Structure 1
Amino acid sequence: MKSYRLVPGRGLAGLTLHDRDVPEPGRGQVVVRIRANSLGFRDLRVLSGEYPLPVTPGVVPGCEGVGEVVAVGADVTRVRPGDRVAATVFPRWLDGPFRREDAAQLGTMIDGVLTEYALLSEDGVVHLPEHLSYEEAAALPLAAVTAWNSLTSGGAPHAGMTVLTLGSGAVSLFVLLFAKLAGARVIVTTSGPAKAERLRALGADEVINYRENPVWWKEVHALTDGQGADRVVDATGPLEQSLRSVAAGGEVAFVGYWLSGAKGAAPVDPATLFAAGSVLRRIATGSRAHFLELNRAVEAHRLRPVIDRVFPFEQVPDALAYCGSGGGFGKVIISHA
């Protein structure tokens, strides 16, 4: 089989394709024939050495992969050969709050899924919604789980609630889709009219162009009669504007520490944090339980993710270069077909 390997800190030059033996499952393990992957900005950070988690040299990259179980080890009971499954990004995080012992992540600390066959723990896989193709399902493990965690950990969204999500990246697109399923009013920030039009077509109630309105928190207040948004999902920053946008007693789900270039970001004034009168919740993707919950919602509503482009497995470097170019809308998918 073929697998990618990476040397952190070297960018695309550190990504190479290798021949390896197909793995054999041990006790509690499964072998999955990967059929599709998803890529994004997170993968570029891993390659560049700027990711917040440690990256093992020579690790198989990629944390988003789906496929078919082809072999199972002793004592495996949750899946069987032939099942369509997705890998969970944090295979040890099954439920409850994120703990340090849950931090082993696919594609950084342990081998990931940019490979033809992946050896995974049976605890680290979930079944796919039946109506989704492999390429569609590959969009779920990172962005969709993060969006679901962001929206539900502080209480599920509901009709009458206003949700603000920042940017038109994959997490925000899933926030928009999930929040609209719950009947919430959704405001989205974006960079221009073309993306604004697509966001409205997906159900956005209001779209704020942050280039035309750089102090966009004032626009949020204008759209909410001065109250602010009940839930803010911040996947891009700046955090200070999110804190000024949230309603008193609301919540900011903070996804974008490393996405927003936090090393160079201005520190948040404690007075702004206090004045927000809201909860600031740090989001680290999500658990297996989050994934199972969102799959039930996706299946019940026959929801389909937004796909931007599909590349073949042999063109992963080209796909990553495309991710880095910006301007896309939706998930970038790798197909093994």
Structure 2
Amino acid sequence: MRVMAIEDYGIEHLRLGERPVPEPRRGEVVVRLRAAALNYRDLEIVRGTYHTRFELPLVPLSDGVGEVVAVGDEVRRVKAGDRVAGTFWQCWTGGDFDPSAQAQQLGGPLDGMLGEYVRLDAEGLVVLPDAIGDEDAATLPCAAVTAWQALVTEGRVKAGDSVLVLGTGGVSIFALQFAAMSGAHVVATSSSDAKLERAKALGATATVNYRTHPDWAAEVLRLTGGRGVDHVVEVGGPGSFAQSLRAIRPGGQINVIGYVGGAEGLINPLDIFRRRATVRGIPVGSRQSFDALLRALTVSGTRPVIDRVFAWTEAREALQHLASGRHVGKVVLRF
């Protein structure tokens, strides 16, 4: 089978090669890939800038969809012919997150989805509804489940709440869509007026250009009548966290997800105390959250925002597009 693997760090070192088609072991299945999608984490792993370096060579990408073609002993949940997506954490089925799952992440340290076939734990799969196509479903395992976990599973967002989403990347756009699905008011930020117009079309009720308003927290407070928002989907990292704290209402929630604005910065815990803020880290989500998300998408008809689709062998070009920051929503690979 053909795979693309990281042989050394850097997008230019992502190489197309050949490997044997895997055989399923006990409790495992083999899936023939149909579509995959990129996340910021994948870009960092390929570049070698992720906070953890994994053993190379490594097949990257956590998100993919395909058809089960072989089933190992003692597998009961799925069968050959089922259309499935892998879960980001191969062993987190539900309940509280178990730190021992750290060794079971697809796309590092486990080989991921950038190949024609992949071997997966049968417990680390969801069966996909017919209503959600391959390319749409491929965008869900990391970014969409993260946004769902933050706002719905953990945040209990409800109609009438206000939600602040930072930027227009994958997690933020999913968060905008899920908040709008729940009847919440959404404030979206971006440095691009064109992207903000896109956010409005997706359901944002207010927008802030953070280049025009460098003190964007003050603008968010103005837009909410001085009250602040109930929820922040914080993907910027330490550089934006202080403003996120200022933008929430007293007792509001900040869901810490990423650090696209940089990993360096100072956070004063007294500011959290003064705002009576609930701050939680969101390590994607469980299989249970993924299943709940699929049910919601099936009923609501909401579908992911896909920016561009590349052939899977054009993964280097797709990663460069993701790195450019020009995208709105998800970048997908077709097999």
Give the TM-score, by structure 1 length: 0.95
Does residue 123 in structure 1 map to residue 123 in structure 2? Answer: yes
Report the counterpart of residue 246 of structure 1 in structure 2.
248
Report the counterpart of residue 54 of structure 2 in structure 1.
55
Cα distance in 1 for partners of 2:227, 2:295 equals 33
Cα distance in 2 for partners of 1:55, 1:89 equals 16
Cα deviation, residue 40, structure 1: 2.9
Report the counterpart of residue 41 of structure 2 in structure 1.
42
Report the counterpart of residue 291 of structure 1 in structure 2.
290
Report the counterpart of residue 315 of structure 2 in structure 1.
316
Matched AA of 2:133: S
Cα deviation, residue 125, structure 1: 0.7
Cα deviation, residue 284, structure 1: 1.1
Cα distance in 1 for partners of 2:137, 2:70 equals 21
Cα distance in 1 for partners of 2:89, 2:269 equals 32
Cα deviation, residue 54, structure 1: 3.8
Cα distance in 1 for partners of 2:278, 2:156 equals 15
Matched AA of 2:55: T
Q: Which moved more, 1:125-134 or 1:72-81?
A: 125-134
Compared with structure 1, are the counterparts of its residues 153 and 248 closer, same or farther at alpha carbon in structure 2 (3 Å cutoff)? farther
Cα deviation, residue 225, structure 1: 1.8
Report the counterpart of residue 71 of structure 2 in structure 1.
72
Q: Please give the secondary structure, in 2, of the residue aligned with 1:164.
A: strand
Q: Please give the secondary structure, in 1, of the residue aligned with 2:218.
A: helix
- Taking only aligned residues, the RMSD between alpha carbons, in angstroms, comes to 1.3
Cα distance in 2 for partners of 1:97, 1:53 equals 23
Matched AA of 2:290: F
Whether the 8 Å contact between 2:153 and 2:289 is mirrored in structure 1 is: no
Whether the 8 Å contact between 2:149 and 2:285 is mirrored in structure 1 is: yes
Cα distance in 1 for partners of 2:221, 2:168 equals 20
Report the counterpart of residue 278 of structure 1 in structure 2.
277
Whether the 8 Å contact between 2:26 and 2:75 is mirrored in structure 1 is: yes
Cα distance in 2 for partners of 1:174, 1:215 equals 25
Cα deviation, residue 271, structure 1: 2.8
Task: Report Cα offsets for 1:135-156 as digits up to 9, x if no partner.
Answer: 1111111110110011024342
Q: Please give the secondary structure, in 1, of the residue aligned with 2:220.
A: helix
Compared with structure 1, are the counterparts of its residues 229 and 315 closer, same or farther at alpha carbon in structure 2 (3 Å cutoff)? same
Whether the 8 Å contact between 1:231 and 1:250 is mirrored in structure 2 is: yes
Report the counterpart of residue 209 of structure 1 in structure 2.
209
Matched AA of 1:70: V
Q: Please give the secondary structure, in 2, of the residue aligned with 1:262.
A: coil
Task: Report Cα offsets for 1:44-85 as digits up to 9, x if no partner.
Answer: 100122212341211211101101111101111111111110
Cα distance in 1 for partners of 2:99, 2:51 equals 14
Report the counterpart of residue 173 of structure 1 in structure 2.
173
Cα deviation, residue 129, structure 1: 2.9
Report the counterpart of residue 234 of structure 1 in structure 2.
234
Report the counterpart of residue 89 of structure 1 in structure 2.
88
Cα distance in 2 for partners of 1:261, 1:56 equals 24
Matched AA of 1:261: G
Q: Please give the secondary structure, in 2, of the residue aligned with 1:319.
A: helix
Matched AA of 2:165: T
Whether the 8 Å contact between 1:56 and 1:110 is mirrored in structure 2 is: no
Q: Please give the secondary structure, in 1, of the residue aligned with 2:52.
A: coil
Q: Please give the secondary structure, in 1, of the residue aligned with 2:291.
A: helix
Count matched residues. 332
Whether the 8 Å contact between 2:36 and 2:65 is mirrored in structure 1 is: yes
Q: Please give the secondary structure, in 2, of the residue aligned with 1:92.
A: coil
Matched AA of 1:98: F
Cα distance in 1 for partners of 2:225, 2:88 equals 39
Q: What does 1:321-332 correspond to in 2, within 5 Å?
A: 321-332=320-331
Cα deviation, residue 295, structure 1: 0.7
Cα distance in 2 for partners of 1:299, 1:184 equals 20
Does residue 261 in structure 1 map to residue 262 in structure 2? Answer: yes
Matched AA of 1:262: A
Q: Please give the secondary structure, in 2, of the residue aligned with 1:293.
A: helix
Task: Report Cα offsets for 1:239-273 as digits up to 9, x if no partner.
Answer: 1111111111111000124x33113xx20123322
Cα distance in 1 for partners of 2:12, 2:42 equals 13
Q: Please give the secondary structure, in 2, of the residue aligned with 1:273.
A: helix
Whether the 8 Å contact between 1:7 and 1:47 is mirrored in structure 2 is: no
